[in-house]
A and B are shown apart, each in its own frame.
Chain A
Amino acid sequence: MKSSKLVLSKIASMLLGGCMILSGCSGAASPNASENSAAAAAQPDAPKVEATAKIVVFQSKVEIIDQLEAAAKDYLSETGAEVEVRGTTGDDYFQQLKTGLANNQGPAVFSLAPGSEVAQLENYLADLSDLPFASDIAAGMAAVSGGKVVGIPYTVEGFGIVYNKSLLDPSSAASLETFTKMLQDQRAAGINGFGLSQESYFLIGHILNHPFAVMDDMEGYMDKLNKGEVKMAETPEFQEFAKFYEAIRDNSYNPLEVNYDKECGDFATGKTASIHQGNWSYGMFKDYDVAFEMGLMGFPIAGNEKIAVSVPTVWCVNGQASDAEAKAGKDFITWLYTSQTGKRYVTEEFGFIPIVKGMESSSLDPLSAEVSRYAAEGKTIGWATNLYPAGIVDVYLVPAAQKFFTTSMSADEFLIELDAAWAAANGR
């Protein structure tokens, strides 16, 4: 009897505690709400319509999350419309987004990679052709589906060989022979000539872009490859690529033992002369006292001197959202790319290379400046990576590359593996 009373009182106290926690939460939330209404009240001339729809922005670029939150705060004080920024820390952004959309709890504004992600979600995307600055976006950069603009590009990014100007001269690595000789010479001098790293895109995803992108009709070739009408093993660009890959395996460290941090650290400290990366990696070098100048050069396949430049991510508006939410989402994107404050955030705080007419940036980091220069000179090739079949990099290409780097398979055998990977990813 006594013990049962004790149990009851324990349960009661637990319930009480639970109530207190709950009320604590709601207590914390309410002053926030009144603050918002106060902010709205303080802006009597702000458009009233937006104030009704508080929208959620969910996006994948981790590097800009703090800055975007600051921008949302300024947006609130300028227009009175509330925007909540959400991000994710892991690699599962797209998965989380799909789960939200599938359950009708998707964000009003979200980011996608152009290409296969946009194609997969095309039923969920709102038409953005009516945005006032849609016609000012640099040609071919917006994501288009069914003749409508559905994605506003964040920026452009470029990748190729990031090299140390004091250790490597681009003209000394402009073909397979000279590139191989460069690797051997660097190795003899105790320096790693060229570095990759174990992460899926840094191991194979990005570098495999080049044999596709140097072709005249990259999309046509990709189409035929997906249908099984052509084979990489019989395509000269890929034959050359496999020989490059072989030279890298035989003359530099094993990328499977090196992660992104170490790859960038070794480069920043001069232990590696060049790495296969893009302008996004500049943030990694900030922690080091980099004592040399760096540049960006094209991967010298088939005499290529161009770097791969394209749009990594686009802003999309949820086509399933209510009209008020969709409008609020469009307004936020418009504000970001056309208002003075918004433009300042995009160029200075996010560090983006401008892609909309009338936007200029004076403070690009050295690698972004290189991308900008290549783009201005027209020395760019596209990104085949966005056209790859969904999931192929992690599920099929990485195993093939791992096999290549842990065995002594030949360049020809590697191409057979890649062809098999492509067939498997297309369900053949």
Chain B
Amino acid sequence: MRKTSAGWYMLFVFPLFFIFSTVVLAPFFMGIIYSFVSWDGLPLNPKTFTGFDNYLKMLSDARFVSSSLRTAYFTLISIVAINVLALAFALVATTSLKARNVARTMLFMPYLIGGLILGYIWKFILGDAFKALGEATGLSSIFFNWLIDPNFAVFALVVVTTWQMAGYVMIIYITGIQGIPEEVIEAAEVDGAGFWTKLIRIKFPLIMQSFTICLFLSISSCFKIFDVNLSLTGGGPYNSTEMFAMNIYNEIFSLNNYGYGQSKAIAFFLAAACLTLAQVVITKKKEVEIQ
């Protein structure tokens, strides 16, 4: 019996393992090797081994440093915006509201639109439509082309990312809230707990698992943002919205510095891994279980 199940196990795991190792593990380790050379990515052109030069160069690359700091800032604002909104949506969508199913569908829908298309749609809204609105209403201090103002362009990215992600994250919160046993809430109500007390003392601790998942998802996807960045602002105006991933893309594919770009990518991986690991460890500790 045990033997057959091991066979089945192998059968079903092998395809996935094979694909994972050829498209993720192998390129990853090859990437580490390439990060130590100076090369333009074409096999017939020379590769020169440069040791840790690529990594040292990163520290004095002002554009790279500022784009990574900007990514951290963007991630921070976005995860707050995404999670606060998603939680609020989830709380509304789990009430006995009649339109709750329609609301869930509508809120989830932006997630189904690809990031590139989303970026182009919002480019039109925040650029042309906002400008026209400002001219028509006279409120040109709010309604102007957000995408050519360096400060507002970052917020434009936050708005679009939030709009895209909030519905998805909401679904996870909804599952968490629906998993709370009815009697616990009732008991709290009998004890005289109001809305806020119930929310903070009863619901939050019991949906801590959802927090772990949602924070993880939003941190990693905001930190790695690329498609919306490319189509909405293209890094402009004057690099003020160039995020981590885009900086790496430009280094490798526009400037042909394959080795240097690869070392940036390794740094990017380490930063993303540390950030999400730290978050998972912290929120895991706060999780409680109903005995």
Q: How far is the CB of A419 from chain B (nearest CB, A)?
A: 16
- Which of B213-221, B231-239, B278-286 forms contacts with chain A? B231-239
Q: How far is the CB of A28 from chain B (nearest CB, A)?
A: 27
B237→A256 contact, CB < 8 A:
yes
B254→A257 contact, CB < 8 A:
no
Q: Which of the listed residues B131, B145, B148, B149 has the most CB atoms from chain A within 10 Å of its own CB?
A: B148
Within 8 A of B (CB), among A119-138: 120-121, 123-124
A123→B255 contact, CB < 8 A:
no
Of chain A, the residue at the smallest CB distance from B260 is A427
How would residues 362 to 398 of chain A score, 1 for a CB under 8 Å from any chain B CB and 0 otherwise?
0000000000000000000000000000110011001
Q: How far is the CB of B249 from chain A (nearest CB, A)?
A: 10
- Which of B24-32, B42-50, B194-202 forms contacts with chain A? B42-50
How would residues 389 to 428 of chain A score, 1 for a CB under 8 Å from any chain B CB and 0 otherwise?
0110011001110110110000000000000000011000
Of chain A, the residue at the smallest CB distance from B149 is A406
Number of chain A residues close to chain B: CB under 8 A: 25
Within 8 A of B (CB), among A295-349: none
B145→A257 contact, CB < 8 A:
yes
A402→B44 contact, CB < 8 A:
no
Of chain B, the residue at the smallest CB distance from A262 is B128
How would residues 93 to 105 of chain A score, 1 for a CB under 8 Å from any chain B CB and 0 otherwise?
0010010011000
Number of A-B contacts (CB under 8 A): 60
Q: How far is the CB of B253 from chain A (nearest CB, A)?
A: 6
B256→A402 contact, CB < 8 A:
no
Evaluate whether A391 and B237 lie within 8 angstroms (CB atoms) in the complex, with A123-B45, A124-B44 already known: no
Decide yes or no whether A239 CB sits under 8 A from chain B: no
Within 8 A of A (CB), among B269-290: none
Decide yes or no whether A43 CB sits under 8 A from chain B: no
Q: What B residues does A406 contact at CB under 8 A? A: 148-150, 237-238
A403→B253 contact, CB < 8 A:
no
Of chain B, the residue at the smallest CB distance from A427 is B257
Decide yes or no whether A77 CB sits under 8 A from chain B: no
Evaluate whether A95 and B253 lie within 8 angstroms (CB atoms) in the complex, with A257-B131, A257-B145 already known: yes
Q: What A residues does B255 contact at CB under 8 A? A: 390-391, 395, 425
Within 8 A of B (CB), among A235-292: 254, 256-257
Decide yes or no whether B105 CB sits under 8 A from chain A: no
CA A372 to CA B45, docked complex, whole Å: 38
How would residues 242 to 267 of chain B score, 1 for a CB under 8 Å from any chain A CB and 0 otherwise?
00000000100111100000000000
Decide yes or no whether B176 CB sits under 8 A from chain A: no
Decide yes or no whether B127 CB sits under 8 A from chain A: yes
Q: What A residues does B150 contact at CB under 8 A? A: 406
Q: What B residues does A394 contact at CB under 8 A? A: 250, 254
Decide yes or no whether B134 CB sits under 8 A from chain A: no
Q: How far is the CB of B129 from chain A (nearest CB, A)?
A: 12
Of chain B, the residue at the smallest CB distance from A399 is B238
B42→A399 contact, CB < 8 A:
no
A395→B254 contact, CB < 8 A:
yes
Q: What B residues does A395 contact at CB under 8 A? A: 250, 254-255
Q: How far is the CB of B227 from chain A (nearest CB, A)?
A: 13
Chain B, interface SS category:
loop
Q: What A residues does B237 contact at CB under 8 A? A: 256, 399, 402-403, 406
Which one of B43, B127, B148, B236 contacts A102 once the chains associate, using CB atoms below 8 Å? Answer: B43
How would residues 133 to 163 of chain B score, 1 for a CB under 8 Å from any chain A CB and 0 otherwise?
0000000000001001110000000000000
Q: How far is the CB of B291 from chain A (nearest CB, A)?
A: 31
Number of chain B residues close to chain A: CB under 8 A: 24
A123→B250 contact, CB < 8 A:
no
A98→B42 contact, CB < 8 A:
yes
Q: What B residues does A121 contact at CB under 8 A? A: 42
B148→A120 contact, CB < 8 A:
no
Evaluate whether A400 and B253 lie within 8 angstroms (CB atoms) in the complex, with A123-B45, A257-B148 already known: no
Of chain A, the residue at the smallest CB distance from B253 is A95
CA A123 to CA B255, docked complex, whole Å: 19
A391→B254 contact, CB < 8 A:
yes
CA A257 to CA B124, docked complex, whole Å: 10
Of chain B, the residue at the smallest CB distance from A389 is B255
A399→B131 contact, CB < 8 A:
no
A120→B40 contact, CB < 8 A:
yes
Which one of A101, A120, A391, A403 contacts B250 once the chains associate, using CB atoms below 8 Å? Answer: A391
CA A45 to CA B145, docked complex, whole Å: 65
Which one of A95, A123, A403 contacts B238 once the chains associate, using CB atoms below 8 Å? Answer: A403
Of chain A, the residue at the smallest CB distance from B254 is A391
Q: What A residues does B45 contact at CB under 8 A? A: 120, 123
Of chain B, the residue at the smallest CB distance from A104 is B43
Q: How far is the CB of B176 from chain A (nearest CB, A)?
A: 28
Q: How far is the CB of B166 from chain A (nearest CB, A)?
A: 29
How would residues 42 to 77 of chain A score, 1 for a CB under 8 Å from any chain B CB and 0 otherwise?
000000000000000000000000000000000000
Evaluate whether A400 and B238 lie within 8 angstroms (CB atoms) in the complex, with A102-B41, A123-B42, A391-B250 already known: yes
A254→B148 contact, CB < 8 A:
yes
Q: What B residues does A120 contact at CB under 8 A? A: 40, 42, 45, 256
Q: How far is the CB of B44 from chain A (nearest CB, A)?
A: 4
Q: What A residues does B149 contact at CB under 8 A? A: 406
Q: What A residues does B250 contact at CB under 8 A? A: 391, 394-395
**A-B contact list, 13 entries, CB within 8 Å:** A98-B41, A102-B41, A102-B42, A102-B43, A120-B40, A120-B256, A123-B44, A124-B44, A391-B250, A391-B254, A391-B256, A402-B238, A406-B148
Q: Can you add 4 more A-B contacts, CB < 8 Å, to A121-B42, A123-B42, A403-B237?
A: A123-B44, A390-B255, A391-B256, A395-B250
8 A-B pairs with least C-beta separation: A391-B254, A123-B44, A399-B238, A403-B238, A402-B237, A391-B255, A402-B238, A399-B239
